[in-house]
Chains A and B, each alone.
Chain A
Amino acid sequence: MSENVPLEKIDDFRWRIPKSYKPGMRVPGLIYADEKLLKDIYQDKALEQVANVAFLPGIVNYSLAMPDIHWGYGFPIGGVAATDIAAGGVVSPGGVGFDINCGVRMVKTNLMFDDIKDKIKDLVYALFSRIPTGVGSKGDIRVSEKEEKEILVKGSKWAVSKGYGVAEDLEYTEDNGAIEGTDPDAVSERAYERGRAQSGTLGSGNHFLEVQVIDQLFDSRLCDEFGLTLGQVALMIHSGSRGLGYQICEDYLKNMVACLQKYNISVPDRQLACAPVNSPEGQTYLSAMRCAANYAWANRQCLMHLARLVFEEVFATSWQKLGMQLIYDVAHNIAKIETYIIDGKEKKLCVHRKGATRSLPPGHPALPSKYKNTGQPVIIPGDMGRNSYLLVGAEKAQETFYSTCHGAGRVKSRTLSTRTTNLNALLKELESKGIIVKASGRETIVEEAPQAYKDVNDVVSIVHNAAIAKRVCRMRPVGVIKG
C-alpha cells in the first residue's frame, strides 16, 4: 500500500524518501531496512507516514524509520523525529503515542536452563497468578491520591522507597527511572483516576513478562562485561503507563489539534497535531508526558519486584542469591530534550521515539559508570515464539539521534492473525519448542502469534549492520505470561 512512495538506495541498509515526494516535506525520510524487509514495509502505509512526519516544523536532518517500522496512527511505529527547539521545533503527542514510556527491562539471574527446566510450568503459573495481567487489571499495590502524585514525580525512586527494589535498580534504568521536569498539576483528574488502581499491573495486548534463556552470544567481551553466558536464564518485562498515559495523550492531543491553527502549522494528518516546544501548550504537554513516563518506570519496577518475589518462592532462596540484577530498563515511546551537534553547532532537540529505543554509545556522559565502556544496553523484545536480543548503543547512532529499533514489528493485523491462527495448534507448536504460555485471554495469544510479526533476527541484523547498535546476545523464550 506504500508502493507509490519513491525510495532511493543509499547503501544496503539505508533508503531515502526524497523531499520532493510531497510538497510540504521539510526533510527527506530515511528508512533502515534491506530489500527483504522492504517487501513487508511496502505492504502497509508506514512509508507514507514517514513522509508525513517530515512536515513537522523544525524537524532536523531526516524523518527516520527503524527496520521494525509498521503502520501506526500519525507517526509510524518505529519512527524517530528530532526537532530544533530554537528554530520553532514542535513536540507532537502522536510522536510519543498513547502508551507513554511503553518500554522494556531485562533482569539477569545466575540460574542456568538446567536449574529451571523442570520448574518452568510452576514458574509461569506462579508469575501469572502473582502479576496482575489483562485489560484494566488492578494491582495489589494500591496508592492514595497523594502517593500517586509522588509516583509521577519520583518514578522508580518511589517504588524503591516503598521497598519494591533497591537503589542499584535506579542506576540501571534510563533517566534513573525518574525524568525531571514533571508537573503533576498538568495531569487531569481523570488520568489520576485511571492510573490509581493500575500500578504494578502488566496490562494487555503486546505487553508481557518472559522467562528467557540465552541461546547465542555475539560478542564475548561484552557478554563477559554483562556477566552473561550461554544457557543463562533472564527475565524480560514489557509494559507501559497504562490508563494514566492514554488519558494524558488524549487530553493533550485534543488540545494540540487547536494549536495547529493557533501556530499556523500544516500537517497532513490531524494525529500529528503539535505545538512548538517553546509554547505554553508544548511545555505543559511535556511536563505531563514526563509524569506518565515516571509512572511507567515505577510500574516496571513494581512488576520486577513481584517477579523477584515469585522466583524467591519457587526457588526457596532470596532474589539476591539468585543474582536477579536489573541489566537495564529502556523507554521506547517517549519525547526527550537532548543536545546534539548539528552542522557544527550545539543544538537542543526534542527527540521523539515512537517505537524506538535510545542507543547511547560507549563513553556517553548519560551512561552509568558500569556501562561507560560497553555502551547503553538496548533491549529488543521479539515475538513469543522466536527470540529477543540484548544490544548496546553505537557511535554511528548519532545519525539517528542515538536511536535504534524497539522490537520485531508487526506484519499481520490483529484481525488477520486471529482469523488465521488456531489457538490449540499454536500452543502445541510453542510447547514443542519448549515454550509455556499463560494469558488472561485466548484472543491475546492468537493476536500476538509469532507469524503476526517480522522475524526479530532480520530486524536486529539491519541495525547491527548499519552500526546504529551492536549485537551482544540473543535469548529464546521458555515461559511467557501475557494480558
Chain B
Amino acid sequence: MPEKNFEILEHTADLGIRVKGRDIKELFINAALALFQIAAEKLPAVSEEKHEIIVNQTGSDMEELLVNWLNELLSLSSAEGLIFEKIQVHNISDKSIEALVTGSDIRNYKVNCEIKAATYHGLKVEKDRFGLTAEVILDV
C-alpha cells in the first residue's frame, strides 16, 4: 500500500476523510485507497491470489460520482470478501468512471472497522492550487 494520501476529519458518530488529487483520476484513486487503509491492516498473506474486477459507475456530477464509486467498492469488498489494493482508472469524466480494481483476500488483513457506506452529507469536491480536494463522511 502507498503512503497515506488522506486526512481524517472529526465527526461525532462517523468518520470524515479529506483527500487530495492532482486531477480527478488521482482524487478517485486516493479516495478509494483511503477507505481500505482506514478499514484494514495488512497481515502476512495467507492467499497470494489477486482478484481483478472492472467497475463502472455513473453520477449526475463529480460529487455524486465519487460517492457512488466509493459505495460500489465498499459493497464489492463486502460481497466478495476482498480488500482492494490497486486501482487503475481506464476512463473518467465528471459523470462516469471505468476502472480495474485489484483486491486480495480479506483474510490477508486485520479489519479494524466496518465502513458501512460513504454519504452525501457534507460532501465537497473543490478545485484548489493543488488540484482537487474532496471531503466525504463515512458511516462507520
Contact = CB atoms under 8 A, between A and B. Distances in A.
Interface stretch (A10-18, A314-322, A410-418): A410-418
Interface string B75-95: 100110100000000000000
A283 B10 CA distance: 36
Given A250-B117, A271-B119, A257 B60 contact: yes
B8 interface: yes
B11 A71 contact: yes
A99 interface: yes
A39 interface: no
A194 B111 contact: no
B106 interface: yes
15 contacts: A71-B12, A134-B111, A190-B79, A250-B117, A257-B60, A269-B121, A270-B64, A410-B13, A412-B12, A413-B10, A413-B12, A414-B140, A415-B8, A416-B10, A443-B113
A194 B79 contact: yes
Interface string B1-41: 00000001011111100000000000000000000000100
B111 A135 contact: yes
B139 A98 contact: yes
Contacts of B15: 413-415
Interface residues of A, number: 47
Contacts of A134: 111
Contact of A194 (B12, B68, B75): B75
Contacts of A447: 113
Interface of B: 8, 10-15, 39, 60, 64, 68, 71, 75, 78-79, 81, 106, 110-114, 116-117, 119-123, 137, 139-140
Count chain A CB atoms within 10 A of each CB in B15, B113, B140 and give the residue with the most: B113
Contacts of B106: 136
A196 to B, nearest CB: 9
B135 to A, nearest CB: 12
Q: Which 9 A-B pairs have the closest CB atoms?
A: A73-B121, A270-B120, A73-B119, A271-B121, A135-B114, A135-B111, A71-B12, A271-B120, A98-B116
Interface of A: 43-44, 46, 70-74, 77, 94, 97-99, 134-136, 190, 193-194, 203-205, 243, 246-247, 249-250, 253-254, 257-258, 269-271, 273, 410-416, 441, 443-444, 447, 483
A193 B78 CA distance: 9
Contact of B114 (A44, A73, A77, A205): A205
